[in-house]
Amino acid sequence: MSVGVVVFPGSNCDRDVRWASEGCLGIPTRYLWHEERDLSGLDAVVLPGGFSYGDYLRCGAIARFAPVLESLVDFAARGGRVLGICNGFQVLTELGLLPGALTRNRNLHFICEDAELEIASVRTPWTNAANASDRITLPIAHGEGRYQCSDDTLRQLQDDDCIAFRYLSNPNGSVGDIAGITNADGNVLGLMPHPERACDPTTGGVDGRLLIKALLS
Amino acid sequence: MPFDVAAALRQEGLTEDDYLEIQRRLGRDPNRAELGMFGVMWSEHCCYRNSRPLLSGFPTEGPRILVGPGENAGVVDLGDGHRLAFKIESHNHPSAVEPFQGAATGVGGILRDIFTMGARPIALLNALRFGPLEEPSTCGLVEGVVAGIAHYGNCVGVPTVGGEVAFDASYSGNPLVNAMALGLMETDDIVKSGASGVGNPVVYVGSTTGRDGMGGASFASAELSAASLDDRPAVQVGDPFLEKGLIEACLEAFQSGDVVAAQDMGAAGLTCSCSEMAAKGDVGVELDLDKVPAREEGMTAYEYLLSESQERMLFVVRAGREEPLMERFRRWGLQAAVVGRVLEEPVVRVLQHGEVAAEVPSRALAEDTPINHHELLAEPPADLQQHWTWCDADLPPAPLGHDWGTDLLKLLDDPTIASKRWVYRQYDQQVLANTVVPSGGADAAVVRLRPQQGEASLQTTVRGVAATVDCPNRWVALDPERGAMAAVAESARNLSCVGAEPLAVTDNLNFPSPETDRGYWQLALACRGLSEACRALNTPVTGGNVSLYNETRGDDGILTPIHPTPVVGMVGLVDDINRVCGMAWRQPGDPIVMLGVSGEQPEDDRVGFGGSAYQGVIHGLLTGRPPRIDLGLEVSVQALVREAIAQGLLASSHDCSDGGLAVTLAEASLASGQGVEIKLGASSASLQRRLFAEGGARIVVSVKSERWEDWQALLSSVDVPLQRLGSVADHDQLSITCEGQSVLTLSVDALASTYEQALPRRLEAS
């Protein structure tokens, strides 16, 4: 049982994810260079935060062409668990594994602070260890985290119970206070907050352990 | 190649005497490219031609100092195999004309200084100065500078964990942007810059070379005016994504053992890196410009040599190992090319199109550089002597029944004192997963010393490093010597407040022109103060940066100099991050004690209003003489606080600085949401002095109630003046009484709405 963490040249939370998963929670974790295609032996893959290929065009817009992501699409189609955090969430929407898009925060500033979230769905393995409407606190750190989608998509997300997390105090102007969503099958989760930054009591809370543990649950 | 020498000298910021010296060193006339090389290398920015004699007085050695001044960054030994590289650098002039890129590339440059040594950057801090926020242009500058720092630091993946921001009219046309970086050594040997091994290849890595940032070092060494806006090409454009790859590839390369020497290309680009490497190694370097990766066509030798394109490095590599080394860089999408070789003959020889475009003796550029000698005024300038006659008794007395709460709220609304959340919220403070104390929670930032690579990266450790930047510029303006001493003392106090042992200093001397009597006197006295305080506090200086000519010539022709601003960056060792103390009160009932000189003796000149925030914010004054600095008392107060934190006796600790005791108490309440009951007794001192005066090496602590006896026992072994003030309350009112009469009562909510909104209210209105 092990987890892979994708490393783009501009990823900068890849080591933090490994610290959370392997260092804090003892989950064997290896890095996947963006040019690799071999995902064998992995039970879950994390797309970490950062700026993938610099993101000067549009966050995640170039990353979607990475060789590792071709394999990842197959991996997800076979039901493998995929967690996209922050830039990883942006990449998942560019890839089409999740609907919608992430645009610049409403106030146009990068925002780094703790955000209180409501667990809006306990349908999927990511959150079924929690109770509906539980509240958790995870840090956010993004400049482009404003979730946007069409009214139809929003309705679809609600109908399929795909909205995993909502902000209690919307920091960035996201539609429907959305902080994170899953696909309909529930094996792919993308969220802007950073669960890996909330696994080590020395540097923050431990509410993020719920999601990191769920990689292998 | 004939050219107009007089015009070229003006353009390069060189004097006629310099030209004669260049002719002497070369034994002939320089060509235009060579003159450009001398221009940048002999600028204040590169060779400290005005400040060097003053810097020589700094203490630079100590048992923990592994690398002192002269290399890309200082390195201190933290014990347990941890070695810390750190340095501060300014990007003032670029930020004045192009705030976003100016500030961003300031961050990029200081990071390169760190990883060039073989250290992985682990934290960033910054010290910023702007004009008043009432000026619309200031708001734009603040927006741009903060966004630029955020852009670079957040993207490159190094947390910005601390800093300071202050506002004063003297910085209106000339903001200050000082960035400090810390790095943890990842290589066994510290990578130095001296070239060696005749015949070894010289390898260029990183980004391409273009015409951006031409002559930035000379630009940085001249005053600013409206015409400076036309110098925007002198500002570089940064690419943090490239730098992220450069960090990874460089650290891999250094670990391979194939790199003999490394030098980043910052100010003065290829010229500086070649000549520094050659001079330090006492060898020569041949550089073929045709092999340099370029982003533009048709660049002249002059342009190649003076380009300050960002994210570039120069290596000397073991012969035969250049291919595998360059492959590491290509994997990260970076340029890598052999551009020259090490020569036995000590010259920097530049080739272009098969001809020698420039040839200069190695030492001529980088060593024995000219010094501008200045006469030091025998006594302080007359206007300062006049200021020093002002005394606290000249402060307008408060009317009977004065509402002291109004004064406190005014102070909390002052942008220099108010919450900087608007700023630090834009910085990623947590990336790398080691930030124990981020901005706003304590007097200094604390970062855990867990490496990012190898087995140790998956093991936890309780060791940490603390860092802070400080400069009380109002004090320095009135008394550069005391002000500079206070900068060192306050930095050390900030570190001690979190429980860290202060270790070493990097300093950024931001001053006006040294060519006036007054300017040179300010610089000289500040250096004297820094030296004395660093000696007393046992924190040697390991390097830093000098930024002169910080002044603006207005459209009316009048020159406005900045407040001299010697920013002190200091690092300290934290033995156990689980014992770190924050500024927030913790437990109702905990006794509150002020250590240091109390304000109760009216005649004690270690506490006062000269240059204080109260004097400025409430009365619109900047006059008097700052309080006398008692370095012996600093040492004993700080040692006591560190020992008490190590023994786990304190619940909180917070340094008493801008705005005095009242602001200190308010800040601790704001951080915790808890009120306090402060009971002052009878005193011959005025309430003004007791509440708002500054100085006195003071720290306000709250002692854990259950450890009160141990605290008393600790006190019995030391000789530190202190005053019991009251205790943490079980309500949310900041309440101060004197002899039973209410002096001030404010809810924490009332404090918070003022303190938190002061910056957004001004910045978002514009």
Nearest residue of B to residue A26, measured between CA atoms: B458
- A83 vs A80: CA distance, rounded Å: 10
ipTM (interface predicted TM):
0.96
pLDDT in the model for residue B577 = 97
The predicted model gives B90-112 an average pLDDT of: 94
pLDDT in the model for residue B62 = 96
pLDDT in the model for residue B49 = 87
In this prediction, residue B755 has a pLDDT band, given cuts at 50, 70 and 90, of: very high
What digits encode the pLDDT tens for the residues A192-212? 999 999 999 999 899 999 999
Least confident of A51-60, A144-153, B99-108: A51-60
Mutate to test the interface with A, among B111, B145, B158, B241 (most CBs of A within 10 A): B241
In this prediction, residue B232 has a pLDDT band, given cuts at 50, 70 and 90, of: low
Q: How far is B39 from chain A (nearest CA, A)?
A: 35
Residues facing B68 on adjacent strands: none
pLDDT in the model for residue B536 = 98
Calculate what percentage of chain B has a pLDDT beyond 70: 97
Residue B474 identity? R
The predicted model gives B672-694 an average pLDDT of: 96
Residue-number span of the structural domain to which A82 is assigned = 3-213
Task: Decide which of A55 and B389 is more confident.
Answer: B389
How confident is the prediction for chain B on average, in pLDDT? 93
Q: Please indicate whether residue A196 is annotated as part of the active site.
A: yes
Q: Chain B partners of A53 at a C-beta cutoff of 8 Å?
A: 241
Statement: residue B2 has pLDDT above 80: no
Statement: residue A217 has pLDDT above 90: no
The predicted model gives A89-107 an average pLDDT of: 95
| Distance, first Cα to last Cα, chain A | 10
Residue B717 buriedness (CB in 10 A; 0-12 / 13-18 / 19+): exposed
pLDDT in the model for residue B757 = 97
Statement: residue B450 has pLDDT above 80: yes
Helices B748-763 and B136-156 sit at what angle, rounded to 10 degrees? Answer: 100
What digits encode the pLDDT tens for the residues B618-671? 999 999 999 999 999 999 999 999 999 999 999 999 999 999 999 999 999 999
The predicted model gives A147-171 an average pLDDT of: 97
With a threshold of 0.90, does the pTM exceed it?
A: yes
- A109 vs B102: CA distance, rounded Å: 18
Phi, psi dihedrals of residue B235, rounded to the nearest 5°: -95, 135
**B178 touching A, CB under 8 A?**
no
pLDDT in the model for residue B185 = 95
Statement: residue B568 has pLDDT above 60: yes
Binding-site residues on chain A for chain B (CB distance < 8 A)? 9-10, 12-13, 15-16, 18-20, 22-23, 49-51, 53-56, 109-113, 139, 141, 143, 194, 196-197, 200, 202-204
Q: Select which of A13, A86, A149, A162 is catalytic.
A: A86
**CATH number, domain with residue A49:** 3.40.50.880
pLDDT in the model for residue B229 = 60
pLDDT in the model for residue A53 = 76
Q: Do B244 and A22 touch (CB under 8 A)?
A: no
In this prediction, residue B591 has a pLDDT band, given cuts at 50, 70 and 90, of: very high
Q: Chain A partners of B328 at a C-beta cutoff of 8 Å?
A: none
What digits encode the pLDDT tens for the residues B480-498? 999 999 999 999 999 999 9
- What is the total count of domains within chain A? 1
Question: 3-state SS string over chain A?
Answer: CCEEEEECCCECCHHHHHHHHHHHCCCCEEEEECCCCCCCCCCEEEECCECCCCCCCCCCCCHHHCHHHHHHHHHHHCCCEEEEECHHHHHHHHHCCCCCEEECCCCCCCEEEEEEEEECCCCCCCCCCCCCCCEEEEEEEECCCEEECCHHHHHHHHHCCCEEEEECCCCCCCHHHEEEEECCCCCEEEECCCHHHHCCCCCCCCCCHHHHHCCCC
Q: Please indicate whether residue A113 is annotated as part of the active site.
A: no
